[in-house]
Amino acid sequence: MNLAERDNNIIWHPYTQMKTAALPVPIVRGEGALLFTEDGKTIIDAVSSWWVNLYGHAHPHIARKVAEQLQTLEHVIFAGFTHPAAVTLAENLLKVLPEGQNRVFYSDNGSTAVEVALKMAIQYWDNTGNPKHKIVAFRDSYHGDTFGAMSVSSRSAFTAPFWSYLFDVEFIDVPVPGKEAQAVEQLQQIAQQQDIAAFIYEPLVLGTAGMVMYRPEVLDQLLSICHANNILTIADEVMTGFGRTGRTFASHYLQQKPDIVCLSKGLTGGTMALGVTTCNEQIYTAFLHDDKAKTFFHGHSYTANPVACAAGLASFDLLQQEETQQNIARITAQHAAFAQQVEQLPHVQEVRQQGTIIAIEFEAGGTSYFSSLRDKLYNFALDKDVLLRPLGNIIYIIPPYCITDQQLQQVYEVITGMHDLV
């Protein structure tokens, strides 16, 4: 039996209909933007392996720092103890996060970063003697697969079996052009209720919704409404963080500052599972109390794992390098040029771009994850040795920053050939 068959006998993969899915592609090595298969093929990873990889696969700097950390301290309980990697990473993050963020809470992934944010926001109001329980979210958002994160995500086919268990959320429209005034109006109405604890949002780009993009000015308006009505604001920068949108954080395009920020994915350059939830002083101080019941009772066995924090520190070094900033600018410019070409093609309904993220929406096929067009587009690209993971009729590129111009051109060519499939 080869590796794919051995896998298929015993492993259950995420987001995969195991009855009909093709055998998984065995990857034995990665380097830069490339993945190498067991049978000798080279695949361009145009989606950074679920949007996590920023500086390339098996990056030597991250690998070295992770190896050093493993040989020094692999793990230690994070209640009552600390270690250099966690402290230094927190210090570094606070230097670049939106103004006002000054406390760092560690967890394991994007969903847990969101769970922590929601629990922090709800307990904040409880601790301050003004209990509020409802959360506002964008109707098409995605914040993760745990129950709290599902609750604030869109009521889609992904979450349908669990709807009766999800907590009550007030949804507003995503303020895409044409719906801006409507979304603002909806939030204004909801803000009149007394029970609204927080508003959670993916700033500027809703990833899983199909790389749906909206203007910073309208988000500023929404955040102003929250601030005027004592509603906490939670920026889910799990996907948009660390340069993806052209600035270090999407929140840097805004005048208004979030109260809480969620990070994961690119935090370790795509090497180790790590989540971070940061908050401002106002939230943190609401948990300081002689009454121990006001403590934030949340944690995970691997909270602030030193190896993951070391990967975070090594990634941070790379983020600071001039070369990374140049690469982000280069990819942004290449995408802009490609956008002009691709929007001329038949069956292309819309092209959207924000920094290193570009999305091409085809006019047919529907946005559903279950659409047959989605599978056709996926297989078409994979046959040409490019990893793209369409969201229904939307194809997007979110590459590692080290992708070369030649590799990018190869990805563009594959997408250019796709309009015939629509």
CB of 193 to ligand PLP, least distance (A): 25
Q: Is 258 in the site for ligand PLP (CB under 6 A)?
A: no
Restricting to residues 201-230, name those near ligand PLP by CB under 6 A. 202, 207-208
| Type of residue found at 410 | Q
How many Å apart are CA 400 and CA 398, to the nearest integer?
7
How many Å apart are CA 166 and CA 155, to the nearest integer?
10
Compute the CA torsion angle 106, 112, 117, 120 (nearest 10 deg).
-80
Taking CB under 6 A as the criterion, the residue among 135, 200, 234, 239 binding ligand PLP is: 239
All residues at 6 or more sequence positions from 50 whose CB lies less than 8 Å from its CB, including other chains: 265, 389
Provide the mask over 183-202, with x wherever binding to ligand PLP is found by CB under 6 A and - wherever it is not. Answer: -------------------x
CB of 257 to ligand PLP, least distance (A): 19
Q: Is 62 in the site for ligand PLP (CB under 6 A)?
A: no
Catalytic site includes residue 396: no
For ligand PLP, the closer CB: 202 or 286 = 202
Instruction: Choose, from 236, 259, 401, 412, the residue flagged as catalytic.
Output: 236
Catalytic site includes residue 108: no
For ligand PLP, the closer CB: 107 or 324 = 107
For ligand PLP, the closer CB: 59 or 143 = 143
Taking CB under 6 A as the criterion, the residue among 236, 278, 309, 365 binding ligand PLP is: 236
355 in a known ligand binding site: no
59 in a known ligand binding site: no
CB of 26 to ligand PLP, least distance (A): 22
Q: Is 144 in the site for ligand PLP (CB under 6 A)?
A: yes
User: What's the Cα-to-Cα distance from 400 to each of 67, 311, 384, rounded to whole Å?
Assistant: 22, 16, 19
142 in a known ligand binding site: yes
50 in a known ligand binding site: yes
Restricting to residues 6-45, name those near ligand PLP by CB under 6 A. none
How many Å apart are CA 114 and CA 234, to the nearest integer?
9
SS3 label, residue 42: strand
Long-range contacts for 184-193 (Cβ within 8 Å, ≥24 apart)?
184/218, 184/221, 184/222, 184/225, 187/136, 187/222, 187/225, 187/226, 188/225, 190/136, 191/225, 191/226, 191/228, 191/229, 191/231, 192/229, 193/134
* Phi, psi torsion values for 352, nearest 5 degrees: -125, 145
| Structure tokens that stand for 403 in this block | 């992708």
For ligand PLP, the closer CB: 114 or 260 = 114
Taking CB under 6 A as the criterion, the residue among 89, 183, 204, 238 binding ligand PLP is: 238
Q: Is 269 in the site for ligand PLP (CB under 6 A)?
A: no
Catalytic site includes residue 265: yes
| Structure tokens that stand for 145 in this block | 């697969």
SS3 label, residue 413: helix
For ligand PLP, the closer CB: 109 or 278 = 109
Q: Is 143 in the site for ligand PLP (CB under 6 A)?
A: yes
* Phi, psi torsion values for 59, nearest 5 degrees: -65, 130
Tokens 């906490």 label which residue?
232
CB 200 within 8 A of CB 136: yes
CB of 209 to ligand PLP, least distance (A): 10
Q: Is 386 in the site for ligand PLP (CB under 6 A)?
A: no
Residue 305: is it exposed, middle or buried by C-beta count within 10 angstroms (0-12/13-18/19+)? buried
Q: Is 140 in the site for ligand PLP (CB under 6 A)?
A: no
Q: Is 110 in the site for ligand PLP (CB under 6 A)?
A: yes
Strands lying side by side in the sheet with 357-362: 348-354, 357-362, 394-397
Instruction: Choose, from 55, 142, 214, 401, the residue flagged as catalytic.
Output: 142
Catalytic site includes residue 214: no
| Structure tokens that stand for 28 in this block | 């034995």
DSSP state of 168: P
The residue number whose beta carbon is nearest to ligand PLP equals 110
Q: Is 362 in the site for ligand PLP (CB under 6 A)?
A: no
Instruction: Choose, from 15, 165, 195, 420, the residue flagged as catalytic.
Output: 15
Return the active site residues.
15, 142, 236, 265
Which residues are annotated as part of the binding site?
A: 50, 110-111, 142, 236, 265, 299-301, 389
Which residues are annotated as part of the binding site for pyridoxal 5'-phosphate?
A: 110-111, 236, 300-301
Which positions touch ligand PLP (CB under 6 A)?
109-111, 114, 142-144, 202, 207-208, 236, 238-239, 264
